Structure 1
Amino acid sequence: MKFTAIDLFAGCGGLSEGLIQANFNVIAAVEINKKALETYRLNHSKTKIFVTDIRSLDVEKVRALLGGQTLHLLAGCPPCQGFSSIRRLNRSSAVEDARNDLILEYLRFVKELKPLTIMMENVPAIINYHLFKEVKIELEGIGYNIDFDIVNVADYGVPQRRKRFVMLGSRIGDIKIAKANNLKRTVRDIIGSLESPETTNDPVHKIYPKHVPRIKEMISKIPKDGGSRKDLPAEYILDCHKKEKVGFNDVYGRLRWDDVSSTITGGCLNPSKGRFLHPEEDRCITAREAALLQTFPGDYQFPIEIPKTALALMIGNALPPEFSRIQSNEIKNHLMMNLIREKF
């Protein structure tokens, strides 16, 4: 039996990819960003896509796709920009951002569609957000057993450090988020055997920033396999990095071959935004390398004519498909066990 799922705030399809790998039938996805949706459509053409602001989407249009059948899973990652530690500049409180309230839209769809199970992912700071606390109380009030935690996806076989909040819920029994498998996959495991972007036939692997001669020379001076701008000779340190307490230490840093990657963010195709230099070659990682470190399949398609900044943003904002697959498998097993017992 294939269970049905709907993906709210679908982005370029990281969560859906994990659902599909776990053998869910993703019947619908909702997303407003047209570039992300172009990517989603390239890879998940059978899914009905609602290209709209979810706040204006009538739930009945989504319900019609079910044809009177039960929805097994409603999943979603409400935009989290206001909770991001970068946006908050490491303050404890959220930045005022209209997107912070989109968690209420997730709640609206749960209340209207009454799925058997739910899954939501976000940044860790949401755990202290008053609206999340209110949403959790409401979900429990309408019969959902809730489990949530903050985990590091590196503990689930994803080759990057990335702390995420994850919440599962069920109205047919107790449910727990999947335990870590503690499988460590390194940068070398994932991109160590890739061909050069200069000789590849993969157009996504050809996409990476080209720098002016001074920056190229500076990058060449950064020690291989984990070096950073702090290791540069004084004459190569950029003026903007000479001031005390400026920026983040990881900018213009190299990844380490035998460790997990730093978090793949929306700035992953810009070495001035984080530790995104190749461990050995004198360049930033490519779009394909970033996507692989996010655990997208090697043949996952991305539009190549869009700006690099837009491509990097959709890759960095995605939920790693492997993490989604593991949590989705946990939900699938929960559904199988409880539906046999309850005969839903």
Structure 2
Amino acid sequence: MVNRSTKIKLNAIDLFAGCGGLSQGMHDAGFHTKVAIELEPVAVKAYKLNHPSTHVIQKDIRDISAREIKNFLGNEPLHLLAGCPPCQGFSSVRRLNKKQSVRDDRNNLVLEYFRLVKELKPIAIMMENVPALKDYYLFKEIVKELKLLGYYIDIEVLNVKEYGVPQSRRRLVMIGSLFGKVGMPTPKNKKATVRDAISNLLPPDKSNDPLQKIVAKHSDSVTRRIELTPKDGGSWKDLPKQFILNCHKKEGVGFNDVYGRLRWDDYSTTITGGCLNPSKGRFLHPEQNRVITPREAALLQSFPKTYKFPIDIPKHSLALLIGNALPPKFSYFQSKNIASHIKSHQPNPQ
């Protein structure tokens, strides 16, 4: 009989690691990320600030062999291979609401994920991506091949707001295991809101947190437009006509959330790579006359309040680091579910 209370060391690898959102969730769930792979220098810098015990390989994943990774695993088993391959051609913004994906070489990085699954043979796998990936022919072929390798595969489109993240963000999640069906974790019942995440922060001019002190400066006209936007959920549609931009007056124009305020007692809209720019989405503070800060954006992504990001990089690079990350709390619930599955199938250590 398996003793589920026995502590088992669980090893993981994070592919396309970014600034470490996925790794943070795995760590919180009890995994030790032995290796992380990331190409972008600023993302590597952020990752190392928070996960010093993980070996980071800063290379294009297409140039990395399984042997190179195995050198850091030694003779230890690999329990979880996780990753979020960049698939920009499948995002709703890039596709402009059309079914056909945008041609982008990064779409084929899902093949590199599959290659490393085949070569490393982890016990479990987890991949997160944009929902539209499920209709990509290459992804469908990969799922077939994974099943032939012996993995029991679960695929669902989930919203991170159902797992304690104060943000609405739909993601495709694929989980697989050689031990059997894993299933998706049960959603949390308690709703996390913008108020829960950021209401206790000091305003930028009174804060000692370097990330909270970074706030965009605007022209007089933009500042006035922000001041006139009703508190707690107002948008450009609520402005006097003379303050509405000409591009917003056209019939059928989308992007209704731009220059909008967040709502205190609701989820935030999806935090994107434009989260520090009010023209890119509903990123205005619920009541203060400004766009959200990097710290606020990170908290809405469910990063710990102490999570570090480099502040000596351009603001748009900082926004991309935060907005492109997988929310750590969402990763935690997925990873915890996988950890419980693995432990329930492991023999007692002697």
TM superposition score category, shorter chain reference: over 0.9
**Equivalent in the alignment of 2:275:** 268
**Equivalent in the alignment of 1:311:** 318
**Equivalent in the alignment of 1:103:** 110
- 1:84 and 1:326 mapped to 2: Cα distance? 24
**Equivalent in the alignment of 1:166:** 173
Q: 2:185 aligned with 1:178, yes or no?
A: yes
CA drift of 1:280 comes to: 0.2
- 1:309 and 1:187 mapped to 2: Cα distance? 22
**Equivalent in the alignment of 2:17:** 10
CA drift of 1:256 comes to: 0.2
Aligned-partner SS, 1:75 = strand
Aligned-partner SS, 1:118 = strand
- 2:314 and 2:77 mapped to 1: Cα distance? 40
1:160-203 CA deviation, whole Å, 9 max, x = no partner?
A: 00000001100012211212123210000110111011110000
CA drift of 1:247 comes to: 4.0
Which one of the candidate residues 161, 182, 199 is aligned to 2:206?
A: 199
- 1:172 and 1:64 mapped to 2: Cα distance? 25
- 1:334 and 1:176 mapped to 2: Cα distance? 9
Q: 2:218 aligned with 1:211, yes or no?
A: yes
Which one of the candidate residues 227, 238, 259 is aligned to 1:220?
A: 227
CA drift of 1:86 comes to: 0.2
Which one of the candidate residues 240, 249, 257 is aligned to 1:250?
A: 257
**Equivalent in the alignment of 1:134:** 141
**Equivalent in the alignment of 2:79:** 72
1:288-319 CA deviation, whole Å, 9 max, x = no partner?
A: 00000000000100011111111101101100
Asked whether the equivalents of residues 287 and 311 of structure 1 are also in contact (C-alpha less than 8 Å), the reply is yes
**Equivalent in the alignment of 2:5:** none
- 2:110 and 2:337 mapped to 1: Cα distance? 23
- 2:325 and 2:280 mapped to 1: Cα distance? 17
Asked whether the equivalents of residues 167 and 177 of structure 1 are also in contact (C-alpha less than 8 Å), the reply is no
Aligned partner letter, 1:279: P
Q: 2:287 aligned with 1:280, yes or no?
A: yes
Aligned-partner SS, 1:263 = coil
**Equivalent in the alignment of 1:47:** 54
CA drift of 1:123 comes to: 0.4
Aligned-partner SS, 1:87 = helix
**Equivalent in the alignment of 2:4:** none
**Equivalent in the alignment of 2:99:** 92
RMSD, aligned CA: 1.2
- 2:56 and 2:62 mapped to 1: Cα distance? 15
Asked whether the equivalents of residues 10 and 29 of structure 1 are also in contact (C-alpha less than 8 Å), the reply is yes
1:43-87 CA deviation, whole Å, 9 max, x = no partner?
A: 011100010100011110101111122100000000021100000
Q: Greater CA deviation, 64-73 or 253-262?
A: 64-73
- 1:246 and 1:146 mapped to 2: Cα distance? 40
- 2:15 and 2:145 mapped to 1: Cα distance? 19
- 2:63 and 2:125 mapped to 1: Cα distance? 21
Runs (4+) of structure 1 moved beyond 6 Å? none
Aligned-partner SS, 2:32 = strand
Aligned partner letter, 2:207: T
Asked whether the equivalents of residues 12 and 315 of structure 1 are also in contact (C-alpha less than 8 Å), the reply is yes
Aligned-partner SS, 1:68 = coil
**Equivalent in the alignment of 2:333:** 326
- 1:314 and 1:254 mapped to 2: Cα distance? 22
Q: Greater CA deviation, 321-330 or 177-186?
A: 177-186
Q: Greater CA deviation, 276-285 or 56-65?
A: 56-65
**Equivalent in the alignment of 2:63:** 56
- 2:214 and 2:35 mapped to 1: Cα distance? 30
Asked whether the equivalents of residues 151 and 163 of structure 1 are also in contact (C-alpha less than 8 Å), the reply is yes
- 2:181 and 2:303 mapped to 1: Cα distance? 30
Aligned-partner SS, 2:275 = coil
Q: Could you list the runs of 5+ residues in structure 2 that have no partner in the other structure?
A: 1-7
Asked whether the equivalents of residues 226 and 255 of structure 1 are also in contact (C-alpha less than 8 Å), the reply is yes
TM-score (ref. length: structure 1): 0.98
Aligned partner letter, 2:37: V
Asked whether the equivalents of residues 173 and 338 of structure 1 are also in contact (C-alpha less than 8 Å), the reply is no
1:111-135 CA deviation, whole Å, 9 max, x = no partner?
A: 0000000000000000100011000
Aligned partner letter, 1:67: G
User: Identity over aligned residues, as a percent?
Assistant: 58
CA drift of 1:242 comes to: 2.3
1:224-267 CA deviation, whole Å, 9 max, x = no partner?
A: 00000000001111223222223411000000000010000110
Q: Could you list the runs of 5+ residues in structure 1 that have no partner in the other structure?
A: none
**Equivalent in the alignment of 1:26:** 33
**Equivalent in the alignment of 1:119:** 126
